[in-house]
Amino acid sequence: MQIEKELEARGQSHLLRWQGELNDAQRGRLNRQIEEIDWDILESIQTPESLQWGDIRPITGLSLAQTEENRAEYFSAGKSALQAGKLVAVLLAGGQGTRLGSSAPKGVYDIGVTRPLYIFEQLIENLKTVCKSCETTVPLLIMTSEKNDGETRAFFEEHGYFGYPKAYVRFFVQAMAPCVDLHGKILLEAKDRLAVSPNGNGGWYQSLKRAGLHRDPLLAHAEWFNVFAVDNVLQHIADPVFLGATILSGRKSGAKVVRKTRPEEKVGVLCLEDGLPSVIEYYEISERLANLRGEDGNLVYSYGVILNYLFHAETLEKIASAKIPVHAAKKKIPYLNDRGETVLPETENGYKFETLILDLIKLMGSCLPCEVEREKEFAPIKNKTGVDSVDSARELLKKNGVKL
């Protein structure tokens, strides 16, 4: 009764239209899904057209040369923090990897040539290198989604965590968001199931807390979270130099950035917006800002983010209840039509909702951009071939001495 009223008030009564055909278990499952809907997400939606930007300015950061000059000092500060258990690494692996075209979790993708080499494996190797050089073990949290959690855990088990101590690894599942049609009606995937998708990577901290991990003894000394994407196989995780530099800067977050070389390059850029750190996505930046050059001839907005961030834990906790924008993306979403048939649409028929981690940076209040060498640290795998693909990542891995 309660559910019926709620849905009626929100114009979503159609979700119960197949109730008469469901058995108790199915009805229970649908009701649970409906009860878990985060209605807020449907009410704080932003589309690129509705975005209002504040006053945009360049942000100061550490250049490669500055990092080099202070490397020993940063390394030492970072290493001490790592050894004291102050850093927790968070691997974001809840995405659907639609561009790669595999329904399996992205991390289980084999990028090897003469031997199997899985994306997860390469990331663990990168982390093991740091642990060895700093003589410590870094806690690793892996965020999955309902769609890939079982498979991801089983994969790590099957491969013995690629030699990483299992006691230092935890998994947690991110929340899902309902998908709607072009008129805002929530779609059904089956008579007893809503169409849902992972709610984006911006909710990682809430999901971590929902799983109770903030109370886990493994996080007892956590002061910093290093959050990174699954798809960059050259990812430097728990980088002591990055950590040390960020701690010593006094800023509340840090972002690894690569220098944008071309105005049209598809990376978000870090800047200041009304005095706060902010990331403008490549599809949101105006042509004027993207092309703006300084007296030295270089692009003014050239700090391209590579989804490797540091977050100060205490600050994160303070902003945990703040609302972060929800982004709507038009997608082709399979759904159940009025006749109860499953439709696989050929054109975009609805919206998926996501919160983005880059929106957290602004809430953190300050951020240190740390420039890194693209060729050494940025090999994203988004597509099967071409730009940011398995092929391009293989080339870069080879250049960095990884045997494929």
Interface residues with ligand UTP (CB under 6 A) are 92-99, 106, 143, 174, 198-201, 229-231, 307, 354, 382
The answer to whether the Cα torsion of 354, 357, 362, 363 is positive or negative is: positive
The structure tokens listed for 268 are 């978000």
For 294, the 3-state DSSP assignment is coil
Q: Residue 296 Cβ, how far from ligand UTP at the closest point, in Å?
A: 32
Q: Residue 198 Cβ, how far from ligand UTP at the closest point, in Å?
A: 3
The answer to whether the Cα torsion of 403, 149, 106, 48 is positive or negative is: negative
Q: Residue 23 Cβ, how far from ligand UTP at the closest point, in Å?
A: 31
Among residues 78 and 105, whose Cβ is nearest to ligand UTP?
Answer: 105
Amino acid identity of 224?
W
CA-nearest of 272, 329, 314, 265 to 48 is: 329
Among residues 67 and 253, whose Cβ is nearest to ligand UTP?
Answer: 253
Among residues 81 and 196, whose Cβ is nearest to ligand UTP?
Answer: 196
Among residues 181 and 281, whose Cβ is nearest to ligand UTP?
Answer: 281
As a three-state string, the secondary structure of 227-279 is: EEECCECCCCCCCHHHHHHHHHHCCCEEEEEEECCCCCCCCCEEEEECCEEEE
Residue nearest to ligand UTP (CB): 95
Q: Residue 228 Cβ, how far from ligand UTP at the closest point, in Å?
A: 8
List, as one string, the DSSP characters of 44-93. Answer: SEE-GGG-----EE----B-HHHHHHHHHHHHHHHHHHHHTT-EEEEEE-
Q: Residue 356 Cβ, how far from ligand UTP at the closest point, in Å?
A: 8
Q: Residue 199 Cβ, how far from ligand UTP at the closest point, in Å?
A: 6
Among residues 81 and 269, whose Cβ is nearest to ligand UTP?
Answer: 269
Among residues 106 and 312, whose Cβ is nearest to ligand UTP?
Answer: 106
